[in-house]
Amino acid sequence: MSKFVYFPLIKTRDAELRAFQNLSSEVMEQILPIYELTKSRTTKKAPDGDIHRRMRQICEIQDGRPFILDLSTDNKYINPQIEQLVSPYDGFKDWQYFLNLYKELNIIPMVHLYEADDDDEDGSTFKEVESFVANISKVKSQIAVRLPHDLSSGDYKYYLEPIIHSLQNECKLIVLLDANFVSEDAQSDVADIVDPLILSAKEVLDLDGFDKIEDVVMLCTSFPSSPAKAGNEDAEGKFKILEENIYQGVIEEVNIKYGDYASINTQQIEMKGGTFVPRIDIALEDGYSFIYKRYRRNDGSYPRCAKSMLIDSEYSNLDTWADSEILLASEDTPTGISPSFWISVRMVYYINTRVNLRNSD
Protein backbone atom coordinates (compact mmCIF):
# COMPACT_ATOMS: atom_id res chain seq x y z
CA MET A 1 0.00 0.00 0.00
CA SER A 2 1.05 3.60 -0.59
CA LYS A 3 1.68 6.19 2.14
CA PHE A 4 -1.36 8.27 1.16
CA VAL A 5 -4.27 8.42 3.60
CA TYR A 6 -6.83 10.28 1.47
CA PHE A 7 -7.72 10.37 -2.24
CA PRO A 8 -9.83 13.46 -3.07
CA LEU A 9 -11.40 13.54 -6.55
CA ILE A 10 -12.05 16.98 -8.05
CA LYS A 11 -12.70 18.68 -11.36
CA THR A 12 -10.19 21.38 -12.27
CA ARG A 13 -12.61 24.25 -11.82
CA ASP A 14 -11.68 27.54 -10.17
CA ALA A 15 -13.25 26.76 -6.75
CA GLU A 16 -11.60 23.36 -6.44
CA LEU A 17 -8.18 24.54 -7.55
CA ARG A 18 -8.34 27.54 -5.21
CA ALA A 19 -8.97 25.13 -2.35
CA PHE A 20 -5.94 23.01 -3.22
CA GLN A 21 -3.79 26.13 -3.56
CA ASN A 22 -4.60 26.87 0.08
CA LEU A 23 -3.88 23.48 1.61
CA SER A 24 -0.80 23.22 3.80
CA SER A 25 2.27 21.30 2.64
CA GLU A 26 1.72 18.90 5.54
CA VAL A 27 -1.73 17.99 4.21
CA MET A 28 -0.61 17.84 0.59
CA GLU A 29 2.08 15.31 1.51
CA GLN A 30 -0.59 12.94 2.83
CA ILE A 31 -3.12 13.05 0.00
CA LEU A 32 -3.10 11.76 -3.56
CA PRO A 33 -5.40 14.07 -5.55
CA ILE A 34 -7.35 12.79 -8.53
CA TYR A 35 -7.76 15.66 -10.99
CA GLU A 36 -10.48 15.39 -13.64
CA LEU A 37 -9.04 17.71 -16.27
CA THR A 38 -11.57 20.25 -17.54
CA LYS A 39 -11.39 23.17 -19.91
CA SER A 40 -10.40 26.53 -18.46
CA ARG A 41 -12.55 29.62 -18.58
CA THR A 42 -13.17 30.75 -22.14
CA THR A 43 -11.38 33.82 -23.47
CA LYS A 44 -11.15 35.60 -26.81
CA LYS A 45 -7.81 33.89 -27.42
CA ALA A 46 -9.11 30.48 -26.25
CA PRO A 47 -12.86 30.37 -26.94
CA ASP A 48 -12.96 26.62 -26.16
CA GLY A 49 -11.08 26.98 -22.88
CA ASP A 50 -7.46 25.82 -22.98
CA ILE A 51 -6.65 22.69 -20.91
CA HIS A 52 -2.95 23.65 -20.79
CA ARG A 53 -3.83 26.55 -18.49
CA ARG A 54 -5.34 24.04 -16.07
CA MET A 55 -2.21 21.90 -16.31
CA ARG A 56 -0.06 24.89 -15.37
CA GLN A 57 -2.26 25.45 -12.31
CA ILE A 58 -1.96 21.79 -11.29
CA CYS A 59 1.82 22.01 -11.72
CA GLU A 60 2.01 24.94 -9.30
CA ILE A 61 -0.27 23.26 -6.76
CA GLN A 62 1.45 19.87 -6.76
CA ASP A 63 4.97 21.26 -6.70
CA GLY A 64 6.53 17.96 -7.74
CA ARG A 65 4.18 15.75 -5.71
CA PRO A 66 2.40 12.86 -7.46
CA PHE A 67 -1.22 13.08 -8.59
CA ILE A 68 -3.65 11.02 -10.63
CA LEU A 69 -4.73 12.69 -13.86
CA ASP A 70 -8.11 11.82 -15.34
CA LEU A 71 -10.19 13.48 -18.06
CA SER A 72 -13.66 14.89 -17.47
CA THR A 73 -16.50 13.34 -19.44
CA ASP A 74 -19.05 15.99 -18.40
CA ASN A 75 -20.27 17.84 -21.49
CA LYS A 76 -20.24 21.13 -19.55
CA TYR A 77 -16.50 20.89 -18.92
CA ILE A 78 -14.97 19.23 -21.97
CA ASN A 79 -13.75 20.73 -25.24
CA PRO A 80 -12.23 19.39 -28.48
CA GLN A 81 -8.83 19.02 -26.79
CA ILE A 82 -10.22 16.61 -24.20
CA GLU A 83 -12.32 14.73 -26.76
CA GLN A 84 -9.14 14.11 -28.75
CA LEU A 85 -7.30 12.76 -25.70
CA VAL A 86 -9.89 10.04 -25.02
CA SER A 87 -9.73 8.67 -28.56
CA PRO A 88 -8.56 5.03 -28.34
CA TYR A 89 -6.84 5.17 -31.75
CA ASP A 90 -3.40 3.52 -31.80
CA GLY A 91 -3.24 2.76 -28.08
CA PHE A 92 -4.60 6.16 -27.02
CA LYS A 93 -1.77 7.78 -28.93
CA ASP A 94 -2.90 11.36 -28.20
CA TRP A 95 -3.21 10.65 -24.46
CA GLN A 96 0.29 9.17 -24.49
CA TYR A 97 1.60 12.24 -26.35
CA PHE A 98 -0.08 14.58 -23.86
CA LEU A 99 1.40 12.71 -20.88
CA ASN A 100 4.83 12.88 -22.46
CA LEU A 101 4.36 16.62 -22.98
CA TYR A 102 4.12 16.92 -19.19
CA LYS A 103 6.66 14.25 -18.33
CA GLU A 104 8.35 16.60 -15.86
CA LEU A 105 5.23 16.41 -13.69
CA ASN A 106 4.69 13.49 -11.33
CA ILE A 107 1.57 12.24 -13.15
CA ILE A 108 -0.12 8.92 -12.44
CA PRO A 109 -2.17 8.49 -15.63
CA MET A 110 -5.70 7.16 -15.67
CA VAL A 111 -6.42 4.21 -17.94
CA HIS A 112 -9.45 4.94 -20.09
CA LEU A 113 -11.41 1.75 -20.58
CA TYR A 114 -12.52 1.10 -24.11
CA GLU A 115 -14.17 -1.95 -25.58
CA ALA A 116 -13.52 -2.68 -29.22
CA ASP A 117 -16.20 -4.04 -31.52
CA ASP A 118 -17.04 -7.73 -31.10
CA ASP A 119 -15.77 -8.43 -34.59
CA ASP A 120 -12.37 -6.91 -33.90
CA GLU A 121 -9.90 -8.71 -36.17
CA ASP A 122 -7.57 -10.05 -33.52
CA GLY A 123 -10.37 -10.90 -31.11
CA SER A 124 -8.88 -8.72 -28.36
CA THR A 125 -11.58 -6.71 -26.63
CA PHE A 126 -9.02 -4.42 -25.01
CA LYS A 127 -6.21 -4.21 -27.54
CA GLU A 128 -5.96 -0.38 -27.40
CA VAL A 129 -6.08 -0.37 -23.60
CA GLU A 130 -3.45 -3.11 -23.40
CA SER A 131 -1.25 -1.23 -25.86
CA PHE A 132 -1.57 1.98 -23.82
CA VAL A 133 -0.77 0.20 -20.54
CA ALA A 134 2.20 -1.66 -22.01
CA ASN A 135 3.70 1.58 -23.36
CA ILE A 136 2.97 3.94 -20.48
CA SER A 137 4.02 1.48 -17.76
CA LYS A 138 7.53 1.47 -19.23
CA VAL A 139 7.95 5.09 -18.16
CA LYS A 140 5.57 5.33 -15.19
CA SER A 141 5.83 3.60 -11.82
CA GLN A 142 2.07 3.82 -11.21
CA ILE A 143 -1.13 4.03 -13.24
CA ALA A 144 -4.77 4.15 -12.15
CA VAL A 145 -8.14 2.89 -13.32
CA ARG A 146 -11.64 3.89 -12.18
CA LEU A 147 -14.58 1.49 -12.19
CA PRO A 148 -18.13 1.49 -10.79
CA HIS A 149 -18.36 0.08 -7.28
CA ASP A 150 -21.14 -2.39 -8.05
CA LEU A 151 -20.20 -4.39 -11.16
CA SER A 152 -21.43 -7.97 -11.42
CA SER A 153 -19.37 -10.89 -10.19
CA GLY A 154 -16.50 -11.58 -12.57
CA ASP A 155 -16.54 -8.12 -14.17
CA TYR A 156 -13.50 -6.87 -12.27
CA LYS A 157 -11.52 -9.85 -13.51
CA TYR A 158 -12.78 -9.11 -17.04
CA TYR A 159 -11.69 -5.46 -16.96
CA LEU A 160 -8.62 -5.52 -14.73
CA GLU A 161 -6.65 -8.65 -15.59
CA PRO A 162 -5.83 -7.46 -19.13
CA ILE A 163 -4.47 -4.26 -17.55
CA ILE A 164 -2.51 -6.08 -14.85
CA HIS A 165 -1.01 -8.52 -17.33
CA SER A 166 0.06 -5.63 -19.60
CA LEU A 167 2.02 -3.85 -16.88
CA GLN A 168 5.73 -3.58 -17.56
CA ASN A 169 8.69 -3.38 -15.21
CA GLU A 170 7.64 -2.66 -11.61
CA CYS A 171 4.64 -0.47 -12.46
CA LYS A 172 1.75 -0.76 -9.98
CA LEU A 173 -1.99 -0.21 -10.43
CA ILE A 174 -4.32 1.93 -8.28
CA VAL A 175 -7.95 0.76 -8.52
CA LEU A 176 -10.68 3.32 -7.80
CA LEU A 177 -14.14 1.95 -6.98
CA ASP A 178 -16.58 4.78 -7.59
CA ALA A 179 -20.05 4.85 -6.01
CA ASN A 180 -20.64 8.37 -7.37
CA PHE A 181 -23.50 10.23 -5.65
CA VAL A 182 -25.19 8.71 -2.62
CA SER A 183 -28.55 10.45 -2.34
CA GLU A 184 -30.18 11.70 0.82
CA ASP A 185 -32.77 8.94 0.32
CA ALA A 186 -30.04 6.37 1.04
CA GLN A 187 -29.36 7.71 4.54
CA SER A 188 -31.41 4.92 6.11
CA ASP A 189 -29.75 2.19 4.10
CA VAL A 190 -26.00 2.76 3.73
CA ALA A 191 -25.71 -1.02 3.32
CA ASP A 192 -26.89 -0.59 -0.28
CA ILE A 193 -23.48 0.97 -0.96
CA VAL A 194 -21.37 -0.84 1.63
CA ASP A 195 -22.20 -4.42 0.65
CA PRO A 196 -21.39 -4.04 -3.09
CA LEU A 197 -18.19 -2.16 -2.21
CA ILE A 198 -17.04 -4.97 0.07
CA LEU A 199 -17.75 -7.61 -2.58
CA SER A 200 -16.04 -5.55 -5.29
CA ALA A 201 -12.94 -4.82 -3.20
CA LYS A 202 -12.58 -8.49 -2.26
CA GLU A 203 -12.87 -9.54 -5.91
CA VAL A 204 -10.20 -7.01 -6.93
CA LEU A 205 -7.82 -8.16 -4.19
CA ASP A 206 -8.36 -11.78 -5.21
CA LEU A 207 -7.33 -11.24 -8.83
CA ASP A 208 -4.48 -13.05 -10.49
CA GLY A 209 -1.62 -10.56 -10.19
CA PHE A 210 -3.11 -8.75 -7.16
CA ASP A 211 0.45 -8.07 -5.97
CA LYS A 212 0.69 -5.49 -8.76
CA ILE A 213 -2.17 -3.50 -7.19
CA GLU A 214 -0.83 -0.64 -5.07
CA ASP A 215 -4.12 0.54 -3.55
CA VAL A 216 -7.84 -0.13 -3.79
CA VAL A 217 -9.74 3.09 -3.09
CA MET A 218 -13.43 3.82 -2.51
CA LEU A 219 -14.96 7.01 -3.92
CA CYS A 220 -18.37 8.63 -3.41
CA THR A 221 -20.07 11.83 -2.33
CA SER A 222 -23.23 12.56 -0.40
CA PHE A 223 -22.96 16.34 -0.40
CA PRO A 224 -26.50 17.47 -1.27
CA SER A 225 -27.51 19.78 -4.10
CA SER A 226 -29.49 21.76 -1.50
CA PRO A 227 -27.96 21.77 2.00
CA ALA A 228 -30.89 23.82 3.34
CA LYS A 229 -33.31 21.15 2.13
CA ALA A 230 -31.14 18.36 3.54
CA GLY A 231 -30.83 20.16 6.85
CA ASN A 232 -34.53 21.03 7.00
CA GLU A 233 -33.71 24.53 8.22
CA ASP A 234 -33.31 27.80 6.33
CA ALA A 235 -30.85 29.82 8.42
CA GLU A 236 -28.78 27.09 10.05
CA GLY A 237 -28.85 23.33 10.28
CA LYS A 238 -27.04 20.02 10.01
CA PHE A 239 -26.89 17.15 7.52
CA LYS A 240 -25.05 13.85 7.31
CA ILE A 241 -21.76 12.94 5.66
CA LEU A 242 -22.56 9.43 4.44
CA GLU A 243 -19.07 8.85 3.02
CA GLU A 244 -17.74 8.26 6.52
CA ASN A 245 -20.50 5.78 7.41
CA ILE A 246 -19.82 3.91 4.19
CA TYR A 247 -16.07 3.75 4.74
CA GLN A 248 -16.39 2.52 8.32
CA GLY A 249 -18.75 -0.20 7.11
CA VAL A 250 -16.35 -1.30 4.38
CA ILE A 251 -13.12 -1.42 6.38
CA GLU A 252 -14.72 -3.74 8.91
CA GLU A 253 -14.53 -6.39 6.17
CA VAL A 254 -11.75 -5.39 3.77
CA ASN A 255 -8.70 -3.13 3.98
CA ILE A 256 -9.02 -0.39 1.37
CA LYS A 257 -8.20 3.33 1.20
CA TYR A 258 -10.59 6.25 1.60
CA GLY A 259 -11.47 8.70 -1.16
CA ASP A 260 -14.36 11.02 -1.93
CA TYR A 261 -15.39 14.06 -3.97
CA ALA A 262 -14.03 16.51 -1.37
CA SER A 263 -17.51 17.80 -0.41
CA ILE A 264 -18.65 18.53 -3.96
CA ASN A 265 -22.02 17.44 -5.31
CA THR A 266 -21.79 15.59 -8.62
CA GLN A 267 -24.27 17.99 -10.26
CA GLN A 268 -21.93 20.93 -9.54
CA ILE A 269 -24.69 23.53 -9.83
CA GLU A 270 -23.23 26.89 -10.79
CA MET A 271 -25.14 29.76 -9.20
CA LYS A 272 -25.63 32.76 -11.40
CA GLY A 273 -25.77 36.31 -10.11
CA GLY A 274 -28.66 37.11 -7.79
CA THR A 275 -29.93 33.56 -7.32
CA PHE A 276 -27.83 32.34 -4.36
CA VAL A 277 -28.18 32.69 -0.61
CA PRO A 278 -24.81 33.21 1.14
CA ARG A 279 -23.89 30.09 3.13
CA ILE A 280 -20.91 28.71 5.05
CA ASP A 281 -20.61 24.95 5.50
CA ILE A 282 -18.29 23.26 8.01
CA ALA A 283 -17.66 19.52 8.47
CA LEU A 284 -17.63 18.44 12.10
CA GLU A 285 -14.47 16.84 13.44
CA ASP A 286 -16.17 13.50 14.12
CA GLY A 287 -16.56 13.11 10.34
CA TYR A 288 -20.26 12.35 10.22
CA SER A 289 -22.03 15.71 9.79
CA PHE A 290 -21.93 19.17 8.22
CA ILE A 291 -23.30 22.26 9.90
CA TYR A 292 -24.23 25.34 7.88
CA LYS A 293 -25.09 29.00 8.42
CA ARG A 294 -27.18 30.66 5.73
CA TYR A 295 -28.26 34.32 5.65
CA ARG A 296 -29.50 36.35 2.71
CA ARG A 297 -27.57 39.33 1.46
CA ASN A 298 -30.09 41.76 2.96
CA ASP A 299 -29.89 39.88 6.27
CA GLY A 300 -26.17 39.92 7.03
CA SER A 301 -24.75 37.83 4.17
CA TYR A 302 -21.38 36.09 4.65
CA PRO A 303 -20.30 38.21 7.66
CA ARG A 304 -23.39 37.12 9.60
CA CYS A 305 -22.84 33.49 8.52
CA ALA A 306 -19.27 33.70 9.83
CA LYS A 307 -20.22 35.34 13.12
CA SER A 308 -22.86 32.67 13.68
CA MET A 309 -20.36 29.91 12.85
CA LEU A 310 -17.73 31.17 15.28
CA ILE A 311 -20.13 31.10 18.23
CA ASP A 312 -21.45 27.62 17.39
CA SER A 313 -20.20 25.18 20.01
CA GLU A 314 -19.79 22.47 17.33
CA TYR A 315 -17.30 24.53 15.30
CA SER A 316 -13.60 23.91 15.98
CA ASN A 317 -10.76 26.10 14.77
CA LEU A 318 -8.34 23.81 12.91
CA ASP A 319 -5.89 26.65 12.21
CA THR A 320 -6.33 26.40 8.44
CA TRP A 321 -6.78 28.93 5.64
CA ALA A 322 -10.51 28.20 5.91
CA ASP A 323 -10.59 29.24 9.57
CA SER A 324 -8.73 32.45 8.72
CA GLU A 325 -11.27 33.30 6.02
CA ILE A 326 -14.20 32.69 8.38
CA LEU A 327 -12.56 35.00 10.93
CA LEU A 328 -12.03 37.73 8.32
CA ALA A 329 -15.66 37.50 7.24
CA SER A 330 -16.81 37.72 10.87
CA GLU A 331 -14.91 41.02 11.08
CA ASP A 332 -16.92 42.33 8.10
CA THR A 333 -13.93 42.01 5.75
CA PRO A 334 -14.61 38.82 3.73
CA THR A 335 -12.00 38.06 1.11
CA GLY A 336 -14.66 36.72 -1.26
CA ILE A 337 -18.41 37.14 -1.56
CA SER A 338 -19.15 34.55 -4.23
CA PRO A 339 -20.41 30.98 -3.73
CA SER A 340 -17.29 29.75 -5.55
CA PHE A 341 -15.00 31.30 -2.94
CA TRP A 342 -16.92 29.75 -0.04
CA ILE A 343 -16.90 26.35 -1.74
CA SER A 344 -13.11 26.62 -1.54
CA VAL A 345 -13.34 27.44 2.16
CA ARG A 346 -15.62 24.46 2.77
CA MET A 347 -13.28 22.15 0.86
CA VAL A 348 -10.13 23.19 2.73
CA TYR A 349 -11.76 22.62 6.10
CA TYR A 350 -13.32 19.34 4.93
CA ILE A 351 -10.06 17.96 3.50
CA ASN A 352 -8.28 18.73 6.77
CA THR A 353 -10.93 16.83 8.73
CA ARG A 354 -10.58 13.80 6.41
CA VAL A 355 -6.80 13.71 6.83
CA ASN A 356 -7.15 14.05 10.61
CA LEU A 357 -9.70 11.22 10.70
CA ARG A 358 -7.57 8.86 8.64
CA ASN A 359 -4.56 9.56 10.83
CA SER A 360 -6.64 8.64 13.87
CA ASP A 361 -8.06 5.39 12.41
Q: Give per-residue pLDDT as tens, 336-356.
A: 999 999 999 999 999 999 999
**Position 269 confidence tier, pLDDT thresholds 50, 70, 90:** low
* pLDDT at position 191 over 90: no
Does a structural domain hold residue 101? yes
Strands 279-283 and 289-294: antiparallel
How many angstroms separate the CA atoms of 167 and 146, rounded? Answer: 16
Does a structural domain hold residue 325? no
Q: pLDDT averaged over the chain? A: 92
Range of the domain at 260: 7-228+238-272
pLDDT digits (tens, 9 = 90+) for 285-302: 999 999 999 999 999 999
Does a structural domain hold residue 254? yes
Q: What angle do CA 9, 14, 19 make, to 5 degrees?
A: 60
* pLDDT at position 270 over 70: no
pLDDT digits (tens, 9 = 90+) for 5-54: 999 999 999 999 999 999 999 999 999 999 999 998 766 666 667 899 99
Q: Which residues pair with 213 in a beta bridge?
A: 173
* pLDDT at position 123 over 50: no
* pLDDT at position 96 over 50: yes
Does a structural domain hold residue 18? yes
The whole-number pLDDT of residue 47 equals 64
- For residues 195-210, give the mean pLDDT: 96
The whole-number pLDDT of residue 119 equals 44
Strand order in the sheet with 236-240: 236-240, 289-294, 279-283
Question: Domain tally for the chain?
Answer: 1
Give me the percent of the chain exceeding a pLDDT of 90: 83
**pTM beyond cutoff 0.85:** yes
* Higher per-residue confidence, 213 vs 40: 213
Does a structural domain hold residue 167? yes
- For residues 70-81, give the mean pLDDT: 91
* pLDDT at position 133 over 70: yes
Three-state SS annotation for 342-359: HHHHHHHHHHHHHHHHHH
Give me the percent of the chain exceeding a pLDDT of 70: 91
* pLDDT at position 147 over 60: yes
Does a structural domain hold residue 314? no
**Position 357 confidence tier, pLDDT thresholds 50, 70, 90:** very high
* pLDDT at position 110 over 80: yes
Does a structural domain hold residue 278? no
Looking at residue 100, which CATH number applies to its domain? 3.20.20
Does a structural domain hold residue 170? yes
